[in-house]
Amino acid sequence: MKYPWIDEYLMAKPGVTRDLQKDWNWIRYQIGGKMFAAICLNEENKPYYITMKLDPLEGEALRQQYEDILPGYYMNKLHWNSVRPDGAVPDALMQHMLDQAYTLVLHSLSRKKQAELLGQ
């Protein structure tokens, strides 16, 4: 996988938890119990997609720019996007998309829950 830093990067964000959804073989990243990103693994436990939630307009624009960004695999195609883990999406853009996914889901939580998760 081209992005070996993803797990450490996401787990460093305040309030993030990670689990393995065994039925799907996905490593899920959540905040406040809501998933914002996932690494989809194949039968050999190798990543075949990195999926994240994005603003619909931003997701569509990125899919038009990069052939390695696709509508969300097994997810709502409007709100979720998947990236091929060995594609041509630059690291800086991948970090930006992961940051956007985190922020989008964080802001969907109540202010009380946000403050709790952020330690405020």
The answer to whether residues 69 and 83 touch, using CB atoms and an 8 Å cutoff, is yes
**Which stretch of DSSP H or E encloses residue 60?**
helix 56-65
- Which pair of tokens denotes residue 99? 């940051």
pTM of the model: 0.93
* Domain at 6-108, CATH from 3.40.50.300, 3.40.50.1980, 3.90.1150.30, 3.50.50.100: 3.90.1150.30
Query: Over the chain, what is the mean pLDDT?
Result: 94
Q: How far apart are the first and last CA of the chain?
A: 36
Quick check: 120 pLDDT over 80? no
Percent of the chain with pLDDT over 90: 89
Kindly report, residue by residue over 65-113, the tens digit of the pLDDT: 999 999 988 888 889 999 999 999 999 999 999 999 999 999 999 999 9
Q: Which parts of 10-104 are beta strand (E)?
A: 16-21, 26-31, 34-41, 47-53, 69-71, 80-83
The predicted structure's pLDDT at residue 36: 97
Could you state, in order of their start, the residue ranges of all structural domains in the chain? 6-108
